[in-house]
Amino acid sequence: MRILWALVLAVLITGCDQAQNQVETPSSPIRVGTNVWPGYEPLYLARQLEGWPQAHLSLVEYPSASEVLRAFRNKTLEAASLTLDEVLLLRQQGVPVKVVLVHDVSEGGDVIVARQGIASMSDLKGKRMGVEAGALGAYVLTRALELNQMSLDDIVIVNRDVNMHESAMQQDEVDAVVTFEPVRTRLLSQGGVQVFDSRQIPNEIVDVLVVHEDVLTQRPEAITALVERWFFALSEMKAKPAATAAMMANRLAISADEVMQSYDGLRLPGLADNRQMLGGVQPTLMTTAQGLNRVMLSHQLLSQQIDTSQLFTDRFLPKD
């Protein structure tokens, strides 16, 4: 477990002095970082749709979640789409942030895919496991092992970012990967076998939009516009599923039909759900965060309990 924690910690520390001079000015667009994941794709759909405030918002795609986490930590980004467990790691590092939007809840989109001939988690004993050195990969792996009465001693960890998962499987560098859509769909189409998915850990993997607190103070109108465009994109997806799936297919490198199928493994909370998850005296997402706190502490993915009482805000959600 110490090896896995060291990999996670390295994601936050490596390059911590980079981009310190790339400070956002009041006239600069807010930079929003993501990796490729269907749960973040409505942001890019919103950019294609009419009304995107290009002068105020800039989407920046990174090859992996680890790089998004690192760039946000270094303030190369003002906002980022991350998993809630990754946000807890940022808070442990003392980064002042708030969660302003819930993108999605994973209900099968995060998986472990193995090569042909491996039918279950138990078949992975002694095998090579490709995992991104960020909190989510470590979290999914530790939970999958725990639920199958296995430990890290039962596998060989190979550090591979998500943009390398497909080639790592093809080139026989690993026997399985902890991955997610759209890599999941591509690996399964090539004969991969899914041996674990996030349906087995319901409500534990939540993707959120996180913003540096000083940016919320300095540029609230830009964050409000970003959140409004997100919900506009969701409304377009609901009203025009085939057309919007076709718009998203090229970026995700899967077919329009596969785009729609990828959302079978995700729940995209609407405005009312976001208000419950982020607002009030006891946001429901706080309960999720407290559960993550316990699990991550028990697996040494956190070194201390994180106070989440001031982490969430519904201030930037649309009022109507």
Q: What is the pLDDT of residues 146-201, one digit of tens each?
A: 999 999 999 999 999 888 999 999 999 999 999 998 899 999 999 999 999 999 99
Q: Is the distance from CB of 269 to CB of 317 less than 8 angstroms?
A: no
Distance of alpha carbon 100 from alpha carbon 87, whole angstroms: 12
Q: Where are the beta strands (DSSP E) in the chain?
A: 30-34, 57-61, 79-83, 97-106, 110-114, 128-131, 156-159, 176-180, 193-197, 206-212, 266-267
Give the chain's domains with CATH numbers. 2-105+206-298 (3.40.190.10), 110-200 (3.40.190.10)
Residue type, 90: L
pLDDT value for 149 = 97
CA–CA dist 89, 93 (Å, integer): 6
Residue 135: predicted pLDDT: 58
Summarised one tens digit per residue, pLDDT across range 13-42 is 454 434 333 444 556 999 999 999 999 999
What value, to the nearest 5°, has the Cα angle with vertex 277 and ends 318 and 92? 110
CA distance 198 to 265: 8
- Joined together, the tokens standing for residue 272 give 């009312």
Residues of the chain with pLDDT under 70: 1-27, 134-135
Read off the tokens for 85. 């467990």
Predicted pLDDT of residue 134: 64
Specify the amino acid at residue 11: V
